[in-house]
Amino acid sequence: ETGVTQTPRHLVMGMTNKKSLKCEQHLGHNAMYWYKQSAKKPLELMFVYSLEERVENNSVPSRFSPECPNSSHLFLHLHTLQPEDSALYLCASRGDGYTFGSGTRLTVV
Amino acid sequence: GENVEQHPSTLSVQEGDSAVIKCTYSDSASNYFPWYKQELGKRPQLIIDIRSNVGEKKDQRIAVTLNKTAKHFSLHITETQPEDSAVYFCAARWSGGYNKLIFGAGTRLAVHP
């Protein structure tokens, strides 16, 4: 284990469902990130949290809603997603480089 | 804007050969350049990184070179082995803050026995 844990590992949800992805880090880092990884595309930065404050939101649709209640936990709340949102969602925390979690493979049906 | 370009998108080599992956970046103030390896179904893992105050760094069979003037950096893998097969991502740390990394699109490396 890397110190960054993501749950669930796999998620299948319908377009009308509401679900949440969870990320937890015990590395003492104070910045956390959500990235989306789609096939044949670069890793896309979605949100940046620094010291529990959202400092960047890269024009992500409002159907994705992040939450960072403390420096160790980061959530991504999902609501009325579209099939094109199916992807691997990676959480990372900042050390010198990033330490990534194992990701949540999301399938929207 | 922030951009990292990576080439080639796929690379196929014979075991024992060398592999080279190249990246260019747009932010001239970037000062940190990590490389990540992602095996199928797994998370990206940091394999080597370089800072802007050095031109080359080696770690066993892996080396990274940086040309700040030209704004490009490269990953070199020598004596490739089948277990080197994976997708490799370069990244540049954006100078605007929050240690934001901008990633290249990735290179799928296949090493054939």
Closest CA to B105 of B23, B12, B16: B23
pLDDT at A95 over 90: no
B89 contact A CB<8A: yes
Nearest to B34 among A2, A50, A97 (CB): A97
pLDDT mean over B57-71: 96
Q: Is B40 left (phi over 0), alpha (psi -120 to 50) or beta?
A: beta
Closest CA in chain B for residue A49: B98
pLDDT at B44 over 90: yes
SS (H, E, C) A11-38: EEECCCCEEEEEEEECCCCCEEEEEEEC
Q: Which are the contacts of B60, defined by CB distance < 8 A and separation ≥ 6?
A: none
Residues of A in contact with B45 (CB under 8 A): 100
Interface test with A, best of B38, B88, B99, B108 (most A CBs within 10 A): B99
Q: In what order do the strands lie in the sheet with B62-67?
A: B4-7, B19-25, B72-77, B62-67, B56-59
What is the pLDDT, as a whole number, of residue A107? 96
* Per-position DSSP letters for chain B, written without gaps between them: ---EEEE-SEEEEETTS-EEEEEEES-TT--EEEEEEE-TTS--EEEEEEETT-SEEEETTEEEEEETTTTEEEEEE-S--GGG-EEEEEEEE-TTSTT-EEE---EEEEEE-
**Between chains, do B104 and A42 touch, taking CB under 8 Å as contact?**
yes
What's the gap in Å between the CA of A39 and the closest CA on chain B? 10
Residues of B in contact with A38 (CB under 8 A): none
What is the pLDDT, as a whole number, of residue A29? 85
Q: How far apart are CA B42 and CA B103, in angstroms?
A: 17
Q: pLDDT tens digit string along A8-63?
A: 999 999 998 999 999 999 888 888 999 999 987 778 889 988 877 777 777 899 99
Q: pLDDT tens digit string along B85-98?
A: 999 999 998 877 77
Interface test with B, best of A68, A96, A99, A102 (most B CBs within 10 A): A96
